[in-house]
Amino acid sequence: MYEAFFDHHVHSRFSWDSDSSLEELVAASRRVGVGGFVLTDHVEFDPLDPGFGEYDYDSARAAWDEIQSLTPDLKIRFGAELSHQQRRLPEIREFLHARRYHWVIGAVHHVGREEISNYVARVEGEGIPLEECLGGYFKACLQGVESNLYDCLGHLDFPKRYSRRGPDLTGEFWLRHYGKEIRSALSACLDFGVFLEVNTGSYRVGFNEPYPGWAILDLYHRLGGSEVVLSSDAHRPEDVGTAYGAVIRELVRRGLSVRNGVA
Ligand SMILES: [Zn+2]
Ligand SMILES: [Zn+2]
């Protein structure tokens, strides 16, 4: 069905928050009909993060090596999703320097040192509107791209996932309040040749648009972006390829083509 396309963002048991075995992911990928997937387990650098110290590169790499040799019909590539924090830049650089990946996603999961789900719950509990307190989030996305360490910028408007306002937080909403910051992050992607991820995980939690929302993707197109990479951010086997059909159709309708970032 989607043989031409990869799922560029898939978690497995090598992530602290997923139990999927590689065999289950292979079966799910065949079922949904993607041409392949990239294993992108979480790597955390902040000791306060629940996933800190949980990632084992050597074990993940060995498991990938074994599974890809057993599945010649499916392209499986080895990657990681790194939590970008500007204060952790030296550790992140050192980590990547010493390891080999086909595909590295830089994603922001914190505001300051506070993990994003906790942060959003706290500020909303204190009555602080999201319109006013996520400048730091989008700035970190820009810094992640500018670090030039990543192949791809992950789930750009991710804070919407944790808000009680849910699908009201459309791409238009983010552009209305953080247009300057988002435009800078998108322009940096184009300048540095960093892929922009269209992440469909949002469809599993009640949204009708990906991360980032359509208005942001339209802005990316107006800025000169013509290609994006597609991913599901699967944490369970059945999540692989979430909403691919509908999202590919809508991307094409908006003049964006879906690229594979790995060969
Ligand atoms: Zn993420
Ligand atoms: Zn992820």
Cα of 81 to ligand 2 centre, how many Å?
6
Percent of the chain at pLDDT > 70 equals: 100
Contact (Cβ atoms closer than 8 angstroms) between residue 11 and residue 38: no
pLDDT digits (tens, 9 = 90+) for 200-218: 999 999 999 999 999 999 9
Cα of 200 to ligand 1 centre, how many Å?
12
Which ligand number lies closest to the CA of residue 239? 2
pLDDT digits (tens, 9 = 90+) for 215-254: 999 999 999 999 999 999 999 999 999 999 999 999 999 9
Cα of 153 to ligand 1 centre, how many Å?
10
Which ligand number lies closest to the CA of residue 115? 1
* 247: number of Cβ within 10 Å: 23
Cα of 129 to ligand 2 centre, how many Å?
26
pTM of the model as a whole: 0.98
Amino acid at 249: R
Ion ligand 2 — residues with CB under 5 Å? 81, 233
Cα of 82 to ligand 1 centre, how many Å?
8
Report d(CA 105, CA 121) in Å as an integer. Answer: 25
Which ligand number lies closest to the CA of residue 233? 2
pLDDT of residue 1: 82
Give me the CATH code for the 2-259 domain, please. 3.20.20.140
Cα of 155 to ligand 1 centre, how many Å?
7
Cα of 67 to ligand 1 centre, how many Å?
24
Cα of 16 to ligand 1 centre, how many Å?
12
Could you tell me which residues come within 8 angstroms of residue 77 by beta carbon, excluding any fewer than 6 positions away?
6, 36, 37, 38, 39, 68, 102, 103, 262
pLDDT digits (tens, 9 = 90+) for 35-72: 999 999 999 999 999 999 999 999 999 999 999 999 99
Strand-pairing partners, residue 234, are 10
DSSP for the chain, written as a single string = -EEEEEEEEE--TTSTT----HHHHHHHHHHHTEEEEEEEEEE---TTSTTTT---HHHHHHHHHHHHHH-TTSEEEEEEEEE--GGGHHHHHHHHHTS--SEEEEE--EETTEEHHHHHHHHHHTT--HHHH-HHHHHHHHHHHHTT--SEE--TTGGGGG-TTGGGS-HHHHHHHHHHHHHHHHHHHHHHTPEEEEEGGGGGGT-SS-BSPHHHHHHHHHTT--EEEEE--BSSGGGTTTTHHHHHHHHHHTT-EEE-S--
Cα of 231 to ligand 2 centre, how many Å?
9
Cα of 103 to ligand 2 centre, how many Å?
13
pLDDT digits (tens, 9 = 90+) for 3-43: 999 999 999 999 999 999 999 999 999 999 999 999 999 99
Task: Provide the sign of the torsion angle of the four alpha carbons 59, 35, 201, 180, taken in this order.
Answer: positive
What is the average pLDDT across 153-168? 98
pLDDT digits (tens, 9 = 90+) for 84-93: 999 999 999 9
